[in-house]
Amino acid sequence: MSANDMRLQAYFEELLIAEGGFVDHPTDPGGATKYGISHRLLNDMFVARNSTYTFLFGRSAPTKQMVKDLTPSMAKEIFKAMFYRPLKLESFSFDVGLMLCDYAYNAGARQAVKDLQRAFNDASARLFFERGLQNADTTERPSALMVDGYIGPRTIAAIGYLIDTYGDDYILDHFNRRRVQFYKKLAQRKPELTVFLKGWLNRAIVKDTPDLPKHLEGNTNHDRLLPQEVEYIKAQIAA
C-alpha cells in the first residue's frame, strides 16, 4: 500500500468513527445518511452523472434504501471520488488534511476550503504581528489568500510554506476556530439544526483542536491576541 493509500485509509477510518451507521433524522437537510454519505450527496452525483456513482449504482436514481445498503467499501470509493481527490488532501500535512476532510465531510467541501483559506489569513496576520513583520520589508510580509473555496496551487503552496516554516499549530488553531464559528452561526440561522450543534462542536473541539502555541495555552478565544490581530480577524470574519 502506498503512502497516499495509507493516508486515505486512515482518514476514512476516522470518518467512520465520527459518522457511524445509518441515520435518518427528520431535520437533517442531507436526508438519510450512512457512514457520512447522504442521500443528497448521492443525488448530486447522480445528476452530475458521476462515474463513481454509475460504477456503484448503475443508472438508477438514488433511494433511501441505497443509502441503507451502503457498505464501507462503497462509502470509501465515494469519499475518494468526492472528497479526497478534489480536496487534494495528500498535498497537506496529515493533521491539516484530516481536519479539512472531516470538516468537508460534515459541512461541505466549499465551506471547509473557504475556512481553511480564512484560517491561513488569520494565522498569517498573527505571525505578522507576533514576529514584528509590520516593520519589515513588504516582501517579508505574509500575503493573504483569496477566499474562493477552491484548492489550487496558490493555496497549497501558501499553506505548505506556513506549515514548513512554523509548524501546524497556527493554522490548525485558526481553522478550528473558524469551524466552530460556522457551526454556531448555522445553528443561529437555522434553529431547527440546533439539535446537531453539540455533536458538531464536540467533533470540532474535542477531535480536532491541537495543542495551542504557548501564549494561547488554556484559552481558545481572541482575548490574548494582540489588538491589531483582533481587528484584522474581525475584518476577515465580517468579509
Q: Are residues 77 and 98 in the same domain?
A: no
Cα separation of 40 and 29, whole Å?
Answer: 8
Cα separation of 214 and 49, whole Å?
Answer: 49
Q: Are residues 104 and 183 in the same domain?
A: yes
Q: What is the mean pLDDT of residues 150-155?
A: 92
| Cα-based distances in Å from 88 to 96, 100, 155, 170 | 12, 10, 11, 21
Query: Does the pLDDT of residue 6 top 60, yes or no?
Result: yes
CA dihedral 107, 110, 116, 120 (to 10 degrees): -150
Q: Enumerate the β-bridge partners of residue 23.
A: 33
**Are the C-beta atoms of 175 and 95 separated by less than 8 Å?**
no
Q: Are residues 159 and 211 in the same domain?
A: yes
pLDDT-based confidence at residue 188 (cuts at 50, 70, 90): confident
- 172-184: pLDDT as tens digits: 988 988 988 888 8
Query: Does the pLDDT of residue 194 top 60, yes or no?
Result: yes
Q: What is the mean pLDDT of residues 27-33?
A: 80
pLDDT-based confidence at residue 132 (cuts at 50, 70, 90): low
Q: Are residues 121 and 228 in the same domain?
A: yes
What's the number of domains the chain is made of? 2
Q: Are residues 30 and 10 in the same domain?
A: yes
CA nearest neighbour of 126 among 8, 15, 233, 11: 233
Q: Are residues 172 and 98 in the same domain?
A: yes
- The last residue of one of the domains, among 85, 120, 135, is 85
The three cell numbers of residue 94 are 496529515
Q: Are residues 80 and 96 in the same domain?
A: no
Query: Does the pLDDT of residue 221 top 80, yes or no?
Result: no
Predicted pLDDT at 155: 92
- The last residue of one of the domains, among 33, 64, 85, is 85
Q: Are residues 185 and 114 in the same domain?
A: yes
Predicted pLDDT at 206: 47
Q: Which H or E run contains 38?
A: strand 37-38
Q: What average pLDDT does the chain have?
A: 79
Q: Are residues 65 and 102 in the same domain?
A: no
Q: The pTM is what?
A: 0.78
- The last residue of one of the domains, among 28, 61, 85, is 85
Predicted pLDDT at 209: 41
- Considering only 77-91, 144-158, 222-236, which range has the smallest mean pLDDT? 222-236
Predicted pLDDT at 198: 77
Q: Are residues 81 and 124 in the same domain?
A: no
Tell me, rounded to whole angstroms, the distance of Cα 200 from its chain centroid: 12
Range(s) of the domain holding residue 169:
91-238
- 85-114: pLDDT as tens digits: 999 999 999 999 999 998 998 888 999 999
Q: Are residues 52 and 145 in the same domain?
A: no
In degrees and rounded to multiples of 5, residue 223 shows phi and psi of -75, -10
Q: Are residues 218 and 108 in the same domain?
A: yes
In the chain, what percentage of residues exceed pLDDT 90?
A: 40
